[in-house]
Amino acid sequence: MNISQAALASIALSALLYACSSAMPDAARQPGATSVERMYVIECGENHAKDLSIWTSPADKGKAYVFANHCYLIRHRAEWFLWDSGHPDMITSMPNGVTNPRGTLTVYMKKPLAESLKEIGVTPADIAHFAMSHSHGDHSGNARLFARSTIYMQAAEYEATYGPDPLKLGIPPANFESLREARIIKLNGDHDVFRDGSVVIKSTPGHTPGHQSLFVRLPKTGPVLLSGDFVHLTSNWQAKRVPSINYNAEQTIRSMNGMESFLQATGAILWINHDAEQSRAIPKAPAFVE
């Protein structure tokens, strides 16, 4: 999701082809036991849109919609992995939220991510592994908290984030200043984080140059795919519809089609980050999903 940098100086909310399912690690293809113990779905803000058609179709012109927004904390044996970091915690001190210059979108953060982690018994220093689906401000708002983590980014996203004009892509450079000296692993496609098929980063470019999604094999729920923003809503997924704000429509369609094949191959469930209706059925932290 993309929000103009002008809304707040330090935040702006705003190429690799999909690696085919045949390149999927063998462990990710096989059902059975997993080394992931549990996953916490943390509410990391809301995006209140006045005109849903920006993300969908002209039929939704003028329709209001509240997009959900989450961070996902995964316990893998003795280590913690965090996926996405939500809106900046500073927005919790702004009761009226932050509205973009056109007045079409207002964002809110009800509880700081740091506080949500504390309720689980975790501090930012405990996060050994950190990755973001992409660099827009509603996913990178608290990235600075994890400068000591090992960070995973697609090379194309890294180049866009630290390149000459990140604002043109809706990327807030201030969110990434503290990560310049961090240990960043630059990816060129899919990556099996723990080398056991339980947490696999999937390359899904299109929304941004190096967008990525996350496959997680849960012990009871089974495999799930965390969308990031390769798709925003269930209706977009069903229609294979590309929002007008995306970086590359052709890449987006390839990513959607590739992930559809991947879901069929793995039996995974697609959890769409911004879909509020789907979100209501998923337990939220400090509860967890097994």
> DSSP letter string over 134-169?
--SHHHHTTGGGGTTSEEEEEHHHHHHHSSS-GGGG
Mean pLDDT of 210-238: 97
| Secondary structure (3-state) at 70 | strand
Q: How many domains does the chain have?
A: 1
Round the average pLDDT of the chain to a whole number and report it.
90
- Strands, DSSP E only, in the chain? 36-49, 65-76, 79-83, 98-99, 105-108, 127-131, 150-154, 183-187, 191-192, 199-203, 212-218, 222-226, 269-271
128-149 burial, b at 16+ Cβ within 10 Å, e below that, comes to ebbbbbbbbbbbbbbbbbbbeb
**C-alpha dihedral, 44 to 142 to 71 to 15, nearest 10°:** 120
**Looking at the domain assignment, is residue 184 inside a domain?**
yes
Radius of gyration of the chain (CA): 17
What pLDDT does 1 receive? 61
Mean pLDDT of 156-163: 97
Helix (H) and strand (E) counts for the chain? Answer: 7, 13
Q: Is the pLDDT of residue 10 over 80?
A: no
Q: DSSP state, 249? A: H
Residue 158, C-beta contacts closer than 8 angstroms, at least 6 positions apart: 184, 186, 210
Residues 247-275: pLDDT tens digits? Answer: 999 999 999 999 999 999 999 999 999 99
**Looking at the domain assignment, is residue 47 inside a domain?**
yes
**Looking at the domain assignment, is residue 285 inside a domain?**
no
**Looking at the domain assignment, is residue 157 inside a domain?**
yes
Neighbours of 35 (CB within 10 A): 16
Whole-number percent of the chain with pLDDT over 90? 87
Mean pLDDT of 188-206: 98
**Looking at the domain assignment, is residue 286 inside a domain?**
no
- The DSSP bridge pattern shows strands 150-154 and 127-131 to be parallel
Contact 153, 161 (CB under 8 A): yes
Of the listed ranges 6-20, 103-117, 240-254, the one predicted with least confidence: 6-20
Q: Which domain holds residue 263?
A: 5-279
**Looking at the domain assignment, is residue 287 inside a domain?**
no
Q: Is the pLDDT of residue 19 over 60?
A: no
Residues 91-109: pLDDT tens digits? Answer: 999 999 999 888 889 999 9
**Looking at the domain assignment, is residue 288 inside a domain?**
no
Give the closest residue to 285 by CA, choosing from 67, 110, 75, 120: 120
- For the entire predicted model, the pTM comes to 0.88
**Looking at the domain assignment, is residue 117 inside a domain?**
yes
Q: DSSP state, 20? A: P
Contact 42, 63 (CB under 8 A): no
**C-alpha dihedral, 248 to 253 to 258 to 262, nearest 10°:** 110
Q: Is the pLDDT of residue 12 over 70?
A: no
| Secondary structure (3-state) at 238 | helix
| Secondary structure (3-state) at 201 | strand
Look up the CATH number of the domain holding residue 219.
3.60.15.10
Cross-strand partners of 225: 215, 270
Does 286 sit behind a cis peptide bond, omega within 30 degrees of 0 on the bond before it? Answer: yes
